[in-house]
Amino acid sequence: MIRFASLGSGSSGNALLVESGATRLLVDCGFSLRETAARLNRLGVTPGDLTGLLVTHEHSDHIGGVFRLARRYGLPVWLTYGTLMAAGAAADGADCRVIDSHDPLAVNDLEVLPYPVPHDAREPVQYVFSDGALRLGVLTDAGEATAHLRAMLSGCHGLVLECNHDARMLAESAYPPALKRRIAGRYGHLENQAAADLLASIDASRLQHLVAAHLSEHNNLPELAARVLAAAVNCEEGWVGVADQAAGFAWRQLG
């Protein structure tokens, strides 16, 4: 059995909790120590209950709170060499363990399968989690879908999938042209329709949970993301979850 929940998702901070048995991994932490403890508390978890942290990349909405949390509670941090280099002195004193972006690692009850993604960071990865029977795929912060990424997410029982922006809302926004190009570019963020196209191109037949994540506060709406994902897998719009910046989302269970 795998359970997962979000402490918050979006450009102001991300953290996703994945649990199997007594193993609890936090994927990214873009929140302060105090904020992280408060958000974990909503899910019935204390920082001391965590087994460790996994980092996707060095952008502050993902890594901002990682090392302080790790040092305070003596937690290991798994991350790629590129991410560690990019983190620099911020990582000093933390128990950092370098992973290869293609090598699975076992953390007690969870198998963690990292995979590289196109994004404007040094060595960004995303993760698939497995308890041996069930698979949870996580993808945020990817500029475009790749064949490898599709293969990793295909056949998963749960998906947390980036729906960063609505292409038209971004184009019509007040963002400066360079920022618009960065976000919409190959090393930026997945827009709603690109996420839906990705979903339609993989085996989604086992999906028990589908959650849209990392929504832009300015250039997206939860109902737009839910609508396009629902259309891609032919389900009710209300069945698609949407991760919120403030509230994250409550525990969801695969099994």
Residues that bind Zn ion (CB under 5 A): 59, 61, 141
**What is the closest distance, in whole angstroms, from the C-beta atom of residue 33 to Zn ion in the complex?**
20
Judge residue 118's burial from the number of C-beta atoms within 10 Å of its C-beta, 0-12 exposed, 13-18 middle, 19 or more buried. middle
Q: Report the distance separating Cα 205 and Cα 216, nearest Å.
A: 28
Judge residue 193's burial from the number of C-beta atoms within 10 Å of its C-beta, 0-12 exposed, 13-18 middle, 19 or more buried. middle
**What is the closest distance, in whole angstroms, from the C-beta atom of residue 16 to Zn ion in the complex?**
12
Q: Which is nearer to Zn ion, 59 or 165 (CB)?
A: 59
Q: Which is nearer to Zn ion, 11 or 20 (CB)?
A: 11
Q: Which is nearer to Zn ion, 157 or 189 (CB)?
A: 189
Give me the DSSP letters along 51-77.
Answer: -EEE---S-HHHHTTHHHHHHHHT-EE
Find all residues with CB under 8 Å of 60, minimum gap 6, and list them.
Answer: 30
Q: Which is nearer to Zn ion, 61 or 166 (CB)?
A: 61
Which residues on neighbouring strands pair with residue 252, listed in sequence order?
4
Q: Which is nearer to Zn ion, 13 or 254 (CB)?
A: 13
**What is the closest distance, in whole angstroms, from the C-beta atom of residue 203 to Zn ion in the complex?**
26
Q: Report the distance separating Cα 166 and Cα 53, nearest Å.
A: 31
Q: Which residue is nearest to Zn ion (CB)?
A: 59
**What is the closest distance, in whole angstroms, from the C-beta atom of residue 234 to Zn ion in the complex?**
29
**What is the closest distance, in whole angstroms, from the C-beta atom of residue 236 to Zn ion in the complex?**
28
